[in-house]
Amino acid sequence: MQTSLTIIRYKSRFIPFAFLSMAIFHVPLFFNKKISFYKLMGTGKNGTFDKTPDFNQWAIFSVFKEKNFQLESNPINAYGYFIKHWLRLFSIETFSIQLEPINGHGMWDGKTVFDSFDSTVNYDGPIATLTRATIRLSKISHFWKHVAPIANKMTSAKGYVFSVGIGEVPWIKQATFSIWESVEDMKTFAYSMKEHSEVVKKTRQEKWYSEDMFVRFKIISSQGKLKGIDPLKRIL
């Protein structure tokens, strides 16, 4: 099941149009027959769960129907004429990653986004993970107190390549998309770091989330740059 994440950076003078795009892009994406699921989201400033939004940077997460989309192509073309030319009109910087889900669990807004996974068994190449959650209002203070310090340590972890914090609703509906050099590096950070494993245990015991989802992806290809840099140049 082909999936893509497109990160979009606007120049500061175009920020009002960035907000506008998050409203009007729903129309072409909703009626796009190539797409089975999509989300329009804002991003955080520090590349992970973040209280401070980056108003210059936004994201489109999309899942394409298998027979209608070629992974090697740029997903911006598949978003349709309107979105493609909107991004071109404002001379926007974009970075798109094409992905193939390997395994995962959970739901997104009550929907099972991935109903099947790649049967790859021993894959250990560069890997991407998406961790998202809807935080219970009564647990927001617990979440930010414990999660933010750990998230800040991720960028110095062995094998870390790139990450971006994305979300539909600030503080409440949050996600981190991260890329690692290998499955082993990702697992070392996720399971061997004592602080991280303890927080994961707390989220379950204290029921911080009303809904969550975790998915691992094989990275197929990428196009574009962010702030003039290709984040995946050294691994692809």
Helices (H), the chain: 15-24, 26-30, 75-78, 81-89, 140-153, 183-187, 194-205
End-to-end CA distance of the chain, in Å?
21
Please give the mean pLDDT across all residues of the chain.
87
Beta-carbon neighbour count of residue 85 at 10 Å? 10
What is the architecture of the domain spanning 3-224?
Answer: 2-Layer Sandwich (3.30)
What phi, psi does 144 have (nearest 5°)?
-70, -30
Dist CA 199 CA 96 (whole Å): 31
Q: What share of the chain is helix, strand, coil (3-state, %, to 5)?
A: 30, 40, 30
Contact by Cβ (8 Å): 224, 76: no
Query: Tokens at residue 119, please?
Result: 């049967």
pLDDT band (50, 70, 90) for residue 19 = very high
Q: What is the pLDDT of residue 49?
A: 66
Mean pLDDT score, 17-23: 95
Q: Give the C-alpha distances (Å, rounded to integers) separating 177 from 5, 27, 165, 182.
A: 9, 25, 6, 15
Dist CA 27 CA 31 (whole Å): 6
pLDDT band (50, 70, 90) for residue 125 = confident
Query: Tokens at residue 218, please?
Result: 């094989």
Query: Tokens at residue 54, please?
Result: 């980056």
Contacts of 27 (CB under 8 A, 6+ apart): 82
**Would you call 124 helix, strand, or coil by DSSP?**
coil
> pLDDT tens digit string along 134-163?
999 888 888 878 776 777 788 888 999 999
Q: What is the pLDDT of residue 63?
A: 93
Q: What is the pLDDT of residue 120?
A: 58
Query: Tokens at residue 117, please?
Result: 């996974």
> pLDDT tens digit string along 78-122?
899 999 999 999 878 999 999 989 989 999 999 999 877 766 567
pLDDT band (50, 70, 90) for residue 123 = confident
**Would you call 45 helix, strand, or coil by DSSP?**
coil
Radius of gyration of the chain from its Cα atoms, rounded to whole angstroms = 17
